[in-house]
Structure 1
Amino acid sequence: MSAAQDGANPLRKYKLVFLGEQSVGKTSIITRFMYDTFDTTYQATIGIDFLSKTMYLEDHTVRLQLWDTAGQERFRSLIPSYIRDSSVALVIYDITNRESFSQTSKWIEDVRAERGNDVVIVLVGNKTDLGDTRQVSSEEGEKRARDLNVMFMETSAKAGHNVKALFKKIAQALPGMDSGANDNNRTSMIDVALNASNQNATDGSNCAC
Protein backbone atom coordinates (compact mmCIF):
# COMPACT_ATOMS: atom_id res chain seq x y z
CA MET A 1 0.00 0.00 0.00
CA SER A 2 1.45 3.38 -1.02
CA ALA A 3 1.83 6.43 1.21
CA ALA A 4 -0.83 8.16 -0.88
CA GLN A 5 -3.21 5.32 -0.24
CA ASP A 6 -2.39 5.44 3.47
CA GLY A 7 -3.27 9.13 3.52
CA ALA A 8 -6.53 8.53 1.69
CA ASN A 9 -7.47 5.59 3.91
CA PRO A 10 -6.24 6.28 7.45
CA LEU A 11 -5.77 3.27 9.70
CA ARG A 12 -8.96 2.48 11.56
CA LYS A 13 -8.57 1.02 15.03
CA TYR A 14 -11.11 -1.25 16.67
CA LYS A 15 -11.04 -2.66 20.17
CA LEU A 16 -12.10 -6.29 20.55
CA VAL A 17 -12.64 -7.60 24.07
CA PHE A 18 -12.73 -11.35 24.75
CA LEU A 19 -15.06 -12.43 27.54
CA GLY A 20 -16.14 -15.70 29.10
CA GLU A 21 -15.55 -18.13 31.92
CA GLN A 22 -12.13 -19.54 32.78
CA SER A 23 -10.69 -22.19 30.42
CA VAL A 24 -13.17 -21.70 27.57
CA GLY A 25 -10.42 -20.87 25.07
CA LYS A 26 -10.24 -17.07 24.88
CA THR A 27 -6.45 -16.89 24.76
CA SER A 28 -6.21 -19.91 22.49
CA ILE A 29 -8.47 -18.27 19.90
CA ILE A 30 -6.32 -15.14 20.02
CA THR A 31 -3.11 -17.17 19.74
CA ARG A 32 -4.44 -19.12 16.78
CA PHE A 33 -5.49 -15.89 15.03
CA MET A 34 -2.26 -14.04 15.81
CA TYR A 35 0.34 -16.76 15.29
CA ASP A 36 -1.55 -19.75 13.83
CA THR A 37 -0.32 -21.90 16.72
CA PHE A 38 -1.85 -23.76 19.65
CA ASP A 39 -0.28 -24.38 23.06
CA THR A 40 -1.42 -27.57 24.77
CA THR A 41 -0.29 -26.35 28.20
CA TYR A 42 -2.66 -24.37 30.39
CA GLN A 43 -1.82 -21.18 32.24
CA ALA A 44 -4.57 -18.86 33.40
CA THR A 45 -4.56 -15.29 32.14
CA ILE A 46 -3.81 -12.90 35.00
CA GLY A 47 -5.79 -9.68 34.72
CA ILE A 48 -5.77 -8.37 31.13
CA ASP A 49 -3.47 -9.07 28.18
CA PHE A 50 -3.33 -6.89 25.08
CA LEU A 51 -2.19 -7.67 21.54
CA SER A 52 -2.82 -6.01 18.20
CA LYS A 53 -3.03 -7.16 14.62
CA THR A 54 -3.27 -5.17 11.40
CA MET A 55 -5.51 -6.62 8.71
CA TYR A 56 -5.07 -5.46 5.13
CA LEU A 57 -8.37 -5.73 3.29
CA GLU A 58 -9.03 -4.82 -0.33
CA ASP A 59 -10.42 -1.39 0.46
CA HIS A 60 -9.42 -0.82 4.07
CA THR A 61 -6.64 -1.35 6.54
CA VAL A 62 -7.78 -1.96 10.09
CA ARG A 63 -5.94 -2.39 13.37
CA LEU A 64 -7.62 -4.87 15.67
CA GLN A 65 -6.73 -4.35 19.32
CA LEU A 66 -7.35 -7.66 21.08
CA TRP A 67 -8.01 -7.48 24.83
CA ASP A 68 -7.83 -10.87 26.53
CA THR A 69 -9.58 -10.90 29.91
CA ALA A 70 -9.20 -13.31 32.81
CA GLY A 71 -12.16 -15.59 33.46
CA GLN A 72 -11.63 -15.91 37.20
CA GLU A 73 -14.15 -14.24 39.49
CA ARG A 74 -11.45 -12.28 41.34
CA PHE A 75 -10.69 -10.28 38.18
CA ARG A 76 -14.33 -9.65 37.27
CA SER A 77 -14.34 -6.10 38.67
CA LEU A 78 -11.68 -5.05 36.12
CA ILE A 79 -13.69 -6.01 33.08
CA PRO A 80 -16.35 -3.24 32.78
CA SER A 81 -13.67 -0.61 32.21
CA TYR A 82 -12.34 -2.62 29.26
CA ILE A 83 -15.79 -3.19 27.79
CA ARG A 84 -16.64 0.51 27.98
CA ASP A 85 -14.90 1.68 24.80
CA SER A 86 -14.94 -1.59 22.85
CA SER A 87 -16.14 -1.94 19.27
CA VAL A 88 -16.60 -5.71 19.47
CA ALA A 89 -17.25 -8.12 22.34
CA LEU A 90 -16.61 -11.82 21.79
CA VAL A 91 -18.38 -13.92 24.40
CA ILE A 92 -16.75 -17.35 24.40
CA TYR A 93 -18.04 -20.61 25.83
CA ASP A 94 -16.82 -24.20 25.80
CA ILE A 95 -19.21 -26.52 23.96
CA THR A 96 -18.21 -29.32 26.37
CA ASN A 97 -19.09 -27.24 29.45
CA ARG A 98 -22.77 -26.34 29.81
CA GLU A 99 -22.13 -24.03 32.75
CA SER A 100 -19.86 -21.84 30.60
CA PHE A 101 -22.72 -21.59 28.09
CA SER A 102 -25.21 -20.74 30.84
CA GLN A 103 -23.05 -17.78 31.85
CA THR A 104 -22.98 -16.24 28.37
CA SER A 105 -26.27 -14.40 28.88
CA LYS A 106 -24.77 -12.63 31.89
CA TRP A 107 -21.66 -11.67 29.93
CA ILE A 108 -23.79 -10.25 27.13
CA GLU A 109 -25.88 -8.32 29.67
CA ASP A 110 -22.67 -6.85 31.08
CA VAL A 111 -21.61 -5.72 27.61
CA ARG A 112 -24.94 -4.08 26.89
CA ALA A 113 -24.94 -2.40 30.31
CA GLU A 114 -21.69 -0.66 29.36
CA ARG A 115 -22.12 -0.18 25.60
CA GLY A 116 -25.84 -0.37 24.85
CA ASN A 117 -26.27 -1.14 21.16
CA ASP A 118 -23.03 0.59 20.13
CA VAL A 119 -21.08 -2.64 19.97
CA VAL A 120 -20.88 -5.77 17.83
CA ILE A 121 -21.41 -8.86 20.00
CA VAL A 122 -20.39 -12.34 18.86
CA LEU A 123 -21.30 -15.52 20.73
CA VAL A 124 -18.58 -18.11 20.09
CA GLY A 125 -18.81 -21.81 20.91
CA ASN A 126 -15.23 -23.09 21.13
CA LYS A 127 -13.62 -26.57 21.23
CA THR A 128 -15.56 -28.17 18.38
CA ASP A 129 -12.72 -30.68 18.07
CA LEU A 130 -14.14 -32.26 21.24
CA GLY A 131 -17.45 -33.11 19.62
CA ASP A 132 -17.70 -36.48 21.38
CA THR A 133 -18.08 -34.70 24.72
CA ARG A 134 -20.26 -31.85 23.45
CA GLN A 135 -22.83 -30.63 26.00
CA VAL A 136 -24.18 -27.67 24.03
CA SER A 137 -25.56 -28.25 20.54
CA SER A 138 -24.97 -25.88 17.65
CA GLU A 139 -28.73 -25.32 17.53
CA GLU A 140 -28.75 -24.16 21.16
CA GLY A 141 -25.97 -21.71 20.46
CA GLU A 142 -27.72 -20.38 17.37
CA LYS A 143 -30.99 -20.00 19.25
CA ARG A 144 -29.40 -18.06 22.08
CA ALA A 145 -27.67 -15.80 19.58
CA ARG A 146 -30.99 -15.14 17.82
CA ASP A 147 -32.80 -14.55 21.10
CA LEU A 148 -30.16 -12.06 22.23
CA ASN A 149 -29.72 -10.52 18.77
CA VAL A 150 -26.00 -11.25 18.49
CA MET A 151 -23.78 -12.96 15.93
CA PHE A 152 -22.82 -16.63 16.34
CA MET A 153 -20.05 -18.97 15.28
CA GLU A 154 -18.45 -22.19 16.51
CA THR A 155 -14.67 -22.62 16.44
CA SER A 156 -11.83 -24.91 17.39
CA ALA A 157 -8.71 -23.03 18.42
CA LYS A 158 -6.86 -26.35 18.64
CA ALA A 159 -7.69 -27.44 15.09
CA GLY A 160 -7.83 -23.90 13.71
CA HIS A 161 -11.39 -24.48 12.52
CA ASN A 162 -13.35 -21.30 11.76
CA VAL A 163 -10.92 -18.97 13.56
CA LYS A 164 -9.98 -16.96 10.47
CA ALA A 165 -13.62 -17.07 9.38
CA LEU A 166 -14.64 -15.65 12.75
CA PHE A 167 -12.43 -12.59 12.39
CA LYS A 168 -13.39 -12.15 8.75
CA LYS A 169 -17.03 -12.12 9.84
CA ILE A 170 -16.20 -9.55 12.51
CA ALA A 171 -14.35 -7.39 9.99
CA GLN A 172 -17.46 -7.31 7.82
CA ALA A 173 -19.54 -6.10 10.77
CA LEU A 174 -17.20 -3.40 12.09
CA PRO A 175 -18.57 0.14 12.33
CA GLY A 176 -17.61 2.09 9.22
CA MET A 177 -17.09 -1.07 7.17
CA ASP A 178 -20.63 -1.15 5.80
CA SER A 179 -19.47 -0.70 2.22
CA GLY A 180 -18.18 -4.26 2.22
CA ALA A 181 -20.71 -5.84 4.52
CA ASN A 182 -22.57 -7.60 1.73
CA ASP A 183 -19.58 -8.60 -0.35
CA ASN A 184 -17.48 -11.39 1.09
CA ASN A 185 -14.78 -10.95 -1.52
CA ARG A 186 -14.20 -7.34 -0.54
CA THR A 187 -13.33 -8.31 3.01
CA SER A 188 -10.93 -11.16 2.37
CA MET A 189 -7.59 -10.81 4.11
CA ILE A 190 -4.74 -10.06 1.74
CA ASP A 191 -1.86 -9.79 4.21
CA VAL A 192 -1.23 -9.75 7.91
CA ALA A 193 1.16 -7.80 10.12
CA LEU A 194 1.58 -8.68 13.78
CA ASN A 195 2.45 -6.56 16.77
CA ALA A 196 2.19 -8.06 20.24
CA SER A 197 2.41 -5.66 23.15
CA ASN A 198 3.06 -8.51 25.57
CA GLN A 199 5.45 -11.11 24.21
CA ASN A 200 4.91 -13.23 27.31
CA ALA A 201 1.13 -13.16 27.20
CA THR A 202 -0.20 -15.90 29.42
CA ASP A 203 -2.87 -18.26 28.26
CA GLY A 204 -6.25 -18.31 29.94
CA SER A 205 -7.53 -21.07 27.73
CA ASN A 206 -4.89 -23.25 26.19
CA CYS A 207 -6.41 -26.50 27.33
CA ALA A 208 -7.55 -28.75 24.44
CA CYS A 209 -9.57 -26.00 22.79
Structure 2
Amino acid sequence: MKIFSYLYRIDFSVHTMEVRLQLWDTAGQERFRSLIPSYIRDSTIAVVVYDITNLNSFQQTSKWIDDVRTERGSDVIIMLVGNKTDLADKRQITTEEGEQRAKELNVMFIETSAKTGYNVKQLFRRVAAALPGMDSTPEKSKEDMIDIKLEKPPELPVTESSCSC
Protein backbone atom coordinates (compact mmCIF):
# COMPACT_ATOMS: atom_id res chain seq x y z
CA MET A 1 0.00 0.00 0.00
CA LYS A 2 1.29 3.46 -0.85
CA ILE A 3 1.07 6.42 1.45
CA PHE A 4 0.78 9.79 -0.18
CA SER A 5 1.89 12.83 1.66
CA TYR A 6 0.98 16.30 0.52
CA LEU A 7 2.42 19.48 1.88
CA TYR A 8 0.47 22.67 1.45
CA ARG A 9 2.33 25.84 2.13
CA ILE A 10 0.56 29.12 2.48
CA ASP A 11 2.49 32.21 3.39
CA PHE A 12 0.71 34.87 5.35
CA SER A 13 2.12 38.23 6.15
CA VAL A 14 1.72 38.61 9.89
CA HIS A 15 2.63 41.83 11.59
CA THR A 16 3.39 41.62 15.27
CA MET A 17 4.07 44.57 17.46
CA GLU A 18 5.56 44.24 20.87
CA VAL A 19 4.39 46.89 23.30
CA ARG A 20 5.94 47.51 26.69
CA LEU A 21 3.52 48.88 29.22
CA GLN A 22 4.41 50.65 32.42
CA LEU A 23 1.38 51.28 34.56
CA TRP A 24 1.61 54.01 37.16
CA ASP A 25 -1.32 54.09 39.55
CA THR A 26 -1.60 57.32 41.53
CA ALA A 27 -5.09 56.40 42.76
CA GLY A 28 -6.03 60.04 42.12
CA GLN A 29 -4.33 61.13 45.30
CA GLU A 30 -3.11 64.70 45.50
CA ARG A 31 0.17 63.65 47.11
CA PHE A 32 1.16 62.07 43.79
CA ARG A 33 0.32 65.15 41.69
CA SER A 34 3.91 66.42 41.86
CA LEU A 35 5.10 63.11 40.39
CA ILE A 36 2.95 63.40 37.27
CA PRO A 37 5.70 64.97 35.10
CA SER A 38 8.09 62.10 35.81
CA TYR A 39 5.33 59.52 35.29
CA ILE A 40 4.28 60.79 31.89
CA ARG A 41 7.42 62.42 30.51
CA ASP A 42 8.05 59.63 28.01
CA SER A 43 4.53 58.23 27.89
CA THR A 44 2.47 57.89 24.77
CA ILE A 45 -0.73 57.00 26.58
CA ALA A 46 -2.51 58.22 29.70
CA VAL A 47 -5.42 56.32 31.20
CA VAL A 48 -7.41 58.50 33.59
CA VAL A 49 -9.76 56.39 35.70
CA TYR A 50 -12.66 57.48 37.84
CA ASP A 51 -15.00 55.53 40.10
CA ILE A 52 -18.57 55.56 38.73
CA THR A 53 -19.82 55.45 42.34
CA ASN A 54 -17.83 58.53 43.39
CA LEU A 55 -18.81 61.93 41.98
CA ASN A 56 -15.67 63.60 43.34
CA SER A 57 -13.37 61.21 41.44
CA PHE A 58 -15.27 62.04 38.24
CA GLN A 59 -14.98 65.77 38.86
CA GLN A 60 -11.20 65.45 39.30
CA THR A 61 -10.70 63.87 35.85
CA SER A 62 -10.58 67.22 34.06
CA LYS A 63 -7.74 68.38 36.29
CA TRP A 64 -5.77 65.14 35.76
CA ILE A 65 -6.23 65.34 31.99
CA ASP A 66 -5.13 68.99 32.03
CA ASP A 67 -1.99 67.94 33.93
CA VAL A 68 -1.23 65.28 31.31
CA ARG A 69 -1.69 67.77 28.48
CA THR A 70 0.41 70.38 30.26
CA GLU A 71 3.29 67.91 30.33
CA ARG A 72 2.79 66.19 26.96
CA GLY A 73 0.77 68.65 24.88
CA SER A 74 -1.35 67.03 22.22
CA ASP A 75 1.26 64.32 21.68
CA VAL A 76 -0.51 61.83 23.94
CA ILE A 77 -3.39 59.39 23.69
CA ILE A 78 -5.79 59.81 26.60
CA MET A 79 -8.45 57.32 27.63
CA LEU A 80 -11.06 58.29 30.21
CA VAL A 81 -12.25 55.19 32.06
CA GLY A 82 -15.29 54.84 34.27
CA ASN A 83 -14.49 51.92 36.58
CA LYS A 84 -16.54 49.73 38.95
CA THR A 85 -19.42 48.91 36.63
CA ASP A 86 -19.97 45.89 38.88
CA LEU A 87 -21.42 48.38 41.41
CA ALA A 88 -24.16 49.63 39.07
CA ASP A 89 -26.65 49.92 41.93
CA LYS A 90 -24.38 52.56 43.55
CA ARG A 91 -23.69 54.45 40.32
CA GLN A 92 -23.47 58.25 40.63
CA ILE A 93 -22.16 59.02 37.11
CA THR A 94 -24.10 57.78 34.11
CA THR A 95 -22.40 56.35 31.04
CA GLU A 96 -23.75 59.30 29.09
CA GLU A 97 -22.08 61.76 31.48
CA GLY A 98 -18.77 59.93 31.04
CA GLU A 99 -19.15 59.96 27.26
CA GLN A 100 -20.01 63.67 27.32
CA ARG A 101 -16.95 64.51 29.46
CA ALA A 102 -14.73 62.51 27.08
CA LYS A 103 -16.21 64.33 24.09
CA GLU A 104 -15.68 67.74 25.75
CA LEU A 105 -12.07 66.88 26.55
CA ASN A 106 -11.46 65.19 23.17
CA VAL A 107 -10.37 61.88 24.71
CA MET A 108 -11.38 58.26 24.27
CA PHE A 109 -13.90 56.69 26.67
CA ILE A 110 -14.82 53.28 28.03
CA GLU A 111 -16.39 51.83 31.16
CA THR A 112 -14.85 48.84 32.92
CA SER A 113 -14.90 46.69 36.01
CA ALA A 114 -11.43 45.81 37.24
CA LYS A 115 -13.09 43.40 39.69
CA THR A 116 -14.94 41.32 37.09
CA GLY A 117 -12.64 42.08 34.15
CA TYR A 118 -15.47 43.64 32.15
CA ASN A 119 -14.04 45.62 29.20
CA VAL A 120 -10.47 45.57 30.55
CA LYS A 121 -9.05 43.76 27.51
CA GLN A 122 -11.13 46.01 25.27
CA LEU A 123 -9.63 49.06 26.99
CA PHE A 124 -6.09 47.97 26.16
CA ARG A 125 -7.04 46.88 22.64
CA ARG A 126 -8.53 50.28 21.90
CA VAL A 127 -5.54 52.10 23.34
CA ALA A 128 -3.12 49.89 21.38
CA ALA A 129 -5.10 50.46 18.18
CA ALA A 130 -4.76 54.21 18.69
CA LEU A 131 -0.96 54.03 18.94
CA PRO A 132 0.96 55.68 16.10
CA GLY A 133 1.77 53.17 13.38
CA MET A 134 -1.09 50.85 14.25
CA ASP A 135 -3.51 50.26 11.43
CA SER A 136 -6.93 51.28 12.64
CA THR A 137 -8.54 50.85 9.23
CA PRO A 138 -11.46 48.46 9.05
CA GLU A 139 -10.82 44.91 7.96
CA LYS A 140 -10.32 44.31 4.25
CA SER A 141 -13.47 44.18 2.22
CA LYS A 142 -14.70 40.86 0.83
CA GLU A 143 -13.52 41.62 -2.71
CA ASP A 144 -9.95 42.10 -1.44
CA MET A 145 -9.95 38.70 0.23
CA ILE A 146 -8.81 35.46 -1.35
CA ASP A 147 -10.76 32.31 -0.61
CA ILE A 148 -8.40 29.36 -0.12
CA LYS A 149 -9.84 25.87 -0.11
CA LEU A 150 -7.61 22.96 0.73
CA GLU A 151 -8.86 19.68 -0.59
CA LYS A 152 -7.16 16.34 -0.54
CA PRO A 153 -6.38 15.30 -4.13
CA PRO A 154 -8.01 12.11 -5.34
CA GLU A 155 -6.02 9.03 -4.44
CA LEU A 156 -4.39 7.24 -7.32
CA PRO A 157 -5.25 3.56 -7.64
CA VAL A 158 -2.61 1.21 -6.31
CA THR A 159 -1.74 -1.87 -8.36
CA GLU A 160 0.52 -4.80 -7.64
CA SER A 161 3.03 -3.67 -10.24
CA SER A 162 3.24 -0.09 -9.01
CA CYS A 163 6.63 1.18 -8.09
CA SER A 164 7.05 1.92 -4.41
CA CYS A 165 9.38 4.84 -4.98
Task: Please give the TM-score of this superposition, normalised by the length of structure 2.
Answer: 0.72
Cα displacement (A) at 1:74: 2.1
Residue number among 2, 9, 32 corresponding to 1:75 in the alignment: 32
Q: Is the counterpart of residue 174 in structure 1 residue 131 in structure 2?
A: yes
Residue number among 16, 22, 29 corresponding to 1:65 in the alignment: 22
Structure 2 Cα separation of the partners of residues 146 and 82 of structure 1:
25
Structure 2 Cα separation of the partners of residues 176 and 90 of structure 1:
19
1:59–1:149 Cα change, 3 Å: same
Residue number among 87, 97, 101 corresponding to 1:130 in the alignment: 87
- Structure 1 residue matching 2:25: 3-state secondary structure: strand
- Structure 1 residue matching 2:23: 3-state secondary structure: strand
Alignment of 1:189-204 (within 5 A): none
Structure 2 Cα separation of the partners of residues 159 and 90 of structure 1:
19
Deviation track 1:104-155 (CA, whole Å, cap 9, x = no partner) reads: 0000100110111000000000000000010000000000101110000000
Residue number among 120, 135, 139 corresponding to 1:163 in the alignment: 120
Task: Please give the TM-score of this superposition, normalised by the length of structure 1.
Answer: 0.57
Contact 2:112 2:120 in 1 (8 A): yes
Query: Structure 1 stretches (4+) deviating beyond 4 angstroms?
Result: none
Deviation track 1:1-31 (CA, whole Å, cap 9, x = no partner) reads: xxxxxxxxxxxxxxxxxxxxxxxxxxxxxxx
Structure 2 Cα separation of the partners of residues 70 and 125 of structure 1:
13
Q: Which residue is equivalent to 1:91?
A: 48
Aligned AA (1:107): W
Structure 1 Cα separation of the partners of residues 130 and 37 of structure 2:
22
Structure 1 Cα separation of the partners of residues 27 and 104 of structure 2:
26
1:184–1:101 Cα change, 3 Å: farther
- Structure 2 residue matching 1:123: 3-state secondary structure: strand
Contact 2:102 2:108 in 1 (8 A): yes
Aligned AA (1:181): S
1:98–1:90 Cα change, 3 Å: same
Query: Is there any run of 5+ residues in structure 1 with no aligned partner, and where?
Result: 1-56, 186-209
Q: Which residue is equivalent to 1:18?
A: none
Deviation track 1:71-119 (CA, whole Å, cap 9, x = no partner) reads: 3222221122212221000000000001100000000100110111000
Q: Which residue is equivalent to 2:71?
A: 114
1:171–1:64 Cα change, 3 Å: same
Residue number among 141, 151, 158 corresponding to 2:108 in the alignment: 151
Q: Which protein is bigger by CA-based radius of gyration? A: 2
Query: Is there any run of 5+ residues in structure 2 with no aligned partner, and where?
Result: 1-13, 141-165
Cα displacement (A) at 1:68: 2.5
